[in-house]
Amino acid sequence: MSAVAQEPAVVLDRIHKQFGDLVVVRDVSLTVARGEVVAIIGPSGSGKSTLLRCINLLERADSGRVEVVGRAVEPGAGVAGRDLAALRRSVGMVFQSFNLFPHMTVLRNVSLPQERVLGRSRAEADARSRQLLERVGLAAKADTYPSRCSGGQQQRVAIARALALDPEVMLFDEPTSALDPELGLEVLAVMRELAADGMTMVVVTHEIHFAADVADRVVVMADGAVLEEGTPEQVLRSPSTERARRFLSAVVDR
């Protein structure tokens, strides 16, 4: 492998984030290799979503360094508009609440960012959109509005919308938490496929089975810090800290 291919996809270096006096992320470092799938699990309020949002600068870390495919920024020292745009272009994100644009058809939702961000023509963008909608199993929904789609379908559209910009890393922020279990499965199936195709993924989730089956590495967070980190085998079967054991027994044994 060449040096470029070995360079990690994401490097978080001593990320610290607090809201007022509340420290949400405490000097967390994390490296994600290209093609790796990392699942971040942990109790609510453990800072896992905030950490994820620090990667694409939806939250600006107070201190620390964020590096995505070789481009580094120090959010605490300010971020130039050009760096922000470059970083956002290489990172796709899927939210818990889908966040589709309700006044646009499914097709427009997927095509508009391609036209505005990548400068693709309407025809090029639509062709790519239809191809991606096909891939997430929603070719037939292209001309409907998001409100006519189930939650699971909306989330798959959101995935297609992010993929349409050819990101190098995909971030998932509890993508199935707002869905009932059956609809969640559709979304997880798309994510499994994406992982199998070699996409670099960072997934904040409560889906312990997904973490066990799909992730290359599982990170357990609590109180703004990383408690455990390792292969799903290690972390889920034999956690080394008491706090992680308690959390895992709550999610695994239910």
Partner 1 sequence: MTGLLTSWGEWLPRLLEGLVTSVELTAASLLLGIPLGLVLALLSSSRTRAVRWAAIALVEIGRGTPALVMLQFVYYGLPSAGLSLTAFVSAVAALSLTTAGYTSEILRGGLQAVPAGETEAAGALGMSHRDTLRFVVVPQGVRIALPSLMGFAILIFQATSLTFTISVVELLSQAYSIGAATFRYLDVLVLAGLLYLAVTIPAGLLTNRTERRLSRHL
Q: Which residues bind partner 1 (CB under 8 A)?
A: 56, 58, 85, 88-89, 91-93, 95, 97, 99-103, 112-113, 116-117, 145, 147, 158, 161-162, 165
Instruction: Identify the helix (H) or strand (E) that includes residue 133.
Output: helix 122-135
Residue 11 or 170 with smaller CB distance to partner 1: 170
- Sign of torsion over alpha carbons 197, 183, 55, 218: negative
Tokens read off for 185: 């499965």
φ, ψ for residue 125, nearest 5 deg: -60, -45
Inter-residue contact 122 to 114 (CB < 8 Å): no
Q: Judging by beta carbons within 10 Å of its beta carbon (0-12, 13-18, 19+), is residue 104 exposed, middle or buried?
A: middle
Q: Which is nearer to partner 1, 93 or 218 (CB)?
A: 93
| Closest to partner 1 by CB, 18 or 96 | 96
Give the span between the Cα atoms of 112 and 205, in whole angstroms.
28
The smaller minimum CB distance to partner 1, of residues 133 and 226, is found at 133
